[in-house]
Every structure is written in C-alpha cells, then in structure tokens.
Structure 1
C-alpha cells in the first residue's frame, strides 16, 4: 500500500482527490459489495483505465481512499491530562462513526470486505496506527504520574473504543459525545485501578 503521506501535486492530486471523494461517496451510498470501478469513474469524472492503472484493483483503491480519510479523523491530542486526552480521542471516534463516510469506513472494516487482502491489510494498519496513538497518550500519562507504568496502551484504547463500537455495531444504539466522555472516564478509572496492566 502506498504511503498516504506521499501526496502527489497538481493534476495528479486533483485526480486522487476526485477519485477518493467518489470512493467514499460510493461506500456511503452502496457499500463495498455493490461498488464498481465503473461507478467510481462515472462519479469522479476520471476514466476507469486511469483508475486501474493507478490503483490496480477496487480493493486497493478503497483501502487507500479510507487510509487517506482516516489520517485526520483521530489526531493525537495533548491537552495536559490523560482523561482529557482520552476524551478527545473518544469524541473523534464518535465523530468518525456518526459521519456518513465514517459509517461507510466502519462498515467496510467489519463486513465481508475484510476478507479481501487489501482491506484486511488496511484494517490491521488502521488499528496499528490507533495503538501507536494510544502509546503516546499513555506514556504522557505515566510521566505525569496519572496511571501506573505497566498500563497496556492497546487495552486502554480498547477500553475507550469498545463501548462506542458496542453501541454502534451490536446494540444499534445512538452514540454521541457524552458516550465518548463516559468511555474515557471509565477507561482512566480502570487504568488507575490496575485493570489494564500489560
């Protein structure tokens, strides 16, 4: 998968932007299973041969478009406290999954599409990035003396994200900023109690 940080300029950038915009719209409206390169080409105004030449397969195209979108959805906060950092992370997850394109991203990650090698690879990369983010937040919290040094960053992030995804994917309940705030507070309490030690 190409690095999303290596962004082309000029016409190439405009093509990339138009195609990725079309991919995300198609994902939101049709879902991965019903998408075709032809539909992406028609929506973006970019010829399908250009799309095939640049991305090869629909799965690779979708994976790169979603990586591109997700780069800015969950930034690394530095608010001065662990709980407010985690609250910012939780709220960014809520914002992602309540946006139509974010819902499409989540649907692609948790549907049959994940059996496609490129999507499976993207899913691993997506969550590896989130665990790296959690590691930075946890290390700051440890340095400030807010939590024990043996807290598992992956478990802490899971404790923040799990209630949000449970409500969304299992219970079919609404999610909002308050849900994110409660998840963050619970995760901090669990970390301080030693329940998230690695």
Structure 2
C-alpha cells in the first residue's frame, strides 16, 4: 500500500536467531573464577566485591548486578570449587555412588587451602556469611540427592527415602572431622559412614 512501511517478520525462519549466553556466560565464568581465586588466596575475610572485580577485569557494577553481596560471591565460589573435577557420581550402584561422593568430599577437605576457606566461612559472622554457608550446603546437597532418586528408581531404596537427609547424614561427619580435626578421615571412616547411613533407611 502507498505510504505503508514493510515490517520484517520476526518469526521468519531465515532471520538469524538472537544469541543467548555469549558475553554474559563469559563474564559469569570470569567472575566466579576470580571469586574462587581470591577466596583461596585471601580467605573469606579477604573476599570483597572490589577484589573480585579487579581480578576478573570487570567493573564493580558488573559484579553487583549478579552477585549483590559478598555472601553471593562466596557461595558461587564454593559451589564452583566443590563441582570442579567432582561430578555427581552415577555408577549405577547406590553404594558405589555414595562411596565416590564421600571420597570426593574427604579429598577436597584434605587440601589445606580448601580447609582454610571452609573454616573461615564457618566462623564468619553476619548475614552475608550465613547466606554463603546456607546456599552452598543447600545447593550442593540438593544436587547430590539425585543419587538417592536414582537408587529409588532402581529399587535399591524405599520410595519414601529422604534424599537430602541421607546425603546430609553421609557427609556431615566428614565436615565435622575436618573442621575440628579431632579424628582422622580414612578408608574405614568412608565405609562405616556408608553402612551407618544405609542401615537407617533399609
């Protein structure tokens, strides 16, 4: 029509799709990697928005937009640390999955720099520190509870088994021993922990 303006069809399959992720994903990776590096180097008390922004090579406002508090940064860094090289086990056997999971936890806590960070985060006071602790344990334990869901599907556990509670009961003593250093963590500890936990649900 005269005077009309042709409008492109946004649903046209020939139209290039808008990219998602990209720079945003790269920035997230940079910031979380920097937060972990600062945390391991300076401990929880040395973790600041400014230090992380400088280490990541981004503006402080970029960090604040996604991680508004130090607690958010600490939680992201701790989750990255726990997940790095430690995928949730999926061997097809409940006992073997639990053995691998607990071994991952004990080996992680055996690293001096990791134990230093965990200890500093545990004793730190304030809402940010509490948020970091809660977010880390809730998200990591929730992710690990898929082990229980798979075991239920295979018929290895009763259908009403509380996955989150089982994982907490399994790894909780490892954190206690590592944090307070009052008893050694060895192979016998891993096996006896698994046996004790499974005895309560079978």
Q: Same fold (TM over 0.5)?
A: yes
Change in 2 beyond 3 A, CA 1:151/1:29:
same
Change in 2 beyond 3 A, CA 1:140/1:39:
closer
Who is 1:30 aligned against? 42
The TM-score with structure 2 as length reference comes to 0.67
Change in 2 beyond 3 A, CA 1:192/1:147:
farther
Structure 1 window deviating more from structure 2 (126-135 vs 141-150): it is 141-150
Change in 2 beyond 3 A, CA 1:196/1:66:
same
**What is the CA–CA distance in structure 1 between the aligned matches of 2:60 and 2:178, rounded to whole Å?**
35
2:36 and 2:77 in contact (8 A); partners too: yes
Structure 1 window deviating more from structure 2 (72-81 vs 161-170): it is 72-81
Change in 2 beyond 3 A, CA 1:54/1:139:
closer
1:82 and 1:138 in contact (8 A); partners too: yes
Q: Which has the higher helix share?
A: 1
Residues 175-195 of structure 1 show CA distances to partners (whole Å, capped at 9, x for unaligned) of 5xxx3x5444223422453x3
**What is the CA–CA distance in structure 1 between the aligned matches of 2:179 and 2:104, rounded to whole Å?**
17
The TM-score with structure 1 as length reference comes to 0.68
After superposition, residues 158-177 of structure 1 pair within 5 angstroms as 158-171=168-181, 175=185
Extract structure 1 runs of 4+ deviating beyond 6 A: none
1:55 and 1:61 in contact (8 A); partners too: yes
Who is 1:187 aligned against? 193
Who is 1:9 aligned against? 22
What is the count of residue pairs matched by the alignment? 183
Change in 2 beyond 3 A, CA 1:9/1:80:
same
2:94 and 2:156 in contact (8 A); partners too: yes
Provide the aligned C-alpha RMSD in A.
3.4
Could you tell me how far 1:27 is from its partner in structure 2? 1.0
Gaps of at least 5 residues in structure 2 are 1-19
Larger Rg: 2
SS where residue 87 of structure 2 aligns?
Answer: coil
After superposition, residues 84-123 of structure 1 pair within 5 angstroms as 84-99=96-111, 102-103=114-115, 106-107=118-119, 109-113=121-125, 115-117=126-128, 119-123=129-133
